[in-house]
Amino acid sequence: MINIAIDGPSGAGKSTVAKLVAAKLGITYLDTGAMYRACALYAVRRSVSVNDEEQVAKLLPDVDISFAGEGESKRVLLNGEDVSSAIREHAISKAASDISKLHCVRDFLVAQQRKIASESNVVLDGRDITSNVLPNAKYKFFLTASADVRAERRYKELIARGADIEYEKVKADIIDRDKNDSQRAYAPLVLTPDSTLIDSSEMTPEQVADVIIAQVMADK
């Protein structure tokens, strides 16, 4: 199986790049962040605090996350409902970051991610793929960009969705979420020594995808 693991902070361009790599190689893309977002959405809708491990653990048996379609038309399904837009709401980003600290949630999702990776050729992006989900993946990348570039990308994405939000708020939230994701106790975002570090601040998504594909092709 080809497993390509991509980690990095929010707004580094991971999902855009991962989709491009998957399309070019004709393999599956697994957006692990979408899985944490779907869990957060489920808890928020049930009015359960995303910090309450006991209550969240009780919800998990009722959470079924799946994906439909490929490429740009790929949808995230939560118990069969298309939640692709709902999970991208700004408020769900922080809720996802908080719920991802819980052991029960990570164990629940990581088991699903490992199963998918063992059954198919897949590009996975997230925070703990290189360090925890697939530490033995052959292809490991850490994608980053400056905080300003990442905030600007996220701001444009939210505005394009019709959100009413200030750039400064987006930047402050992105810095706060990075801290939350890198400083948590269980499976934090880390740059592993065997990952290739790519700073995408001055690169297009196509250029980043080409770097990743070149490394995979060099082995063929």
Closest distance between ligand DC and the C-beta of residue 8, in Å? Answer: 9
- Residue number with CB closer to ligand DC (176 or 217): 176
78 and 38 in contact (C-beta within 8 Å)? yes
Instruction: Give the 3-state secondary structure of residue 132.
Output: helix
- Residue number with CB closer to ligand DC (183 or 207): 183
- Residue number with CB closer to ligand DC (25 or 153): 153
The residues, ordered by sequence, that sit 6+ positions from 193 with a Cβ below 8 Å of its Cβ are none
Q: Which residues bind ligand DC (CB under 6 A)?
A: 10, 32-33, 36-37, 96-97, 100, 126-129, 177, 181
Closest distance between ligand DC and the C-beta of residue 218, in Å? Answer: 26
Strand pairing class (81-82; 122-126): unpaired
Q: Which residues pair with 3 in a beta bridge?
A: 122
Closest distance between ligand DC and the C-beta of residue 43, in Å? Answer: 13
Torsion of CA 74, 75, 76, 77, to 10 degrees: -130
The residues, ordered by sequence, that sit 6+ positions from 140 with a Cβ below 8 Å of its Cβ are 5, 7, 129, 130, 192, 194, 195, 196
Q: What are phi and psi of 197, to 5 degrees?
A: -85, 125
- Residue number with CB closer to ligand DC (101 or 209): 101
Exposed (0-12), middle (13-18) or buried (19+): which is 40, by Cβ within 10 Å?
buried
Closest distance between ligand DC and the C-beta of residue 87, in Å? Answer: 8
Closest distance between ligand DC and the C-beta of residue 2, in Å? Answer: 19
- Residue number with CB closer to ligand DC (148 or 217): 148
- Residue number with CB closer to ligand DC (100 or 195): 100
Residue 177's nearest CA partner among 165, 164, 188, 186 is 188
Closest distance between ligand DC and the C-beta of residue 62, in Å? Answer: 20
- Residue number with CB closer to ligand DC (33 or 41): 33
Closest distance between ligand DC and the C-beta of residue 131, in Å? Answer: 10
CA distance 142 to 144: 7
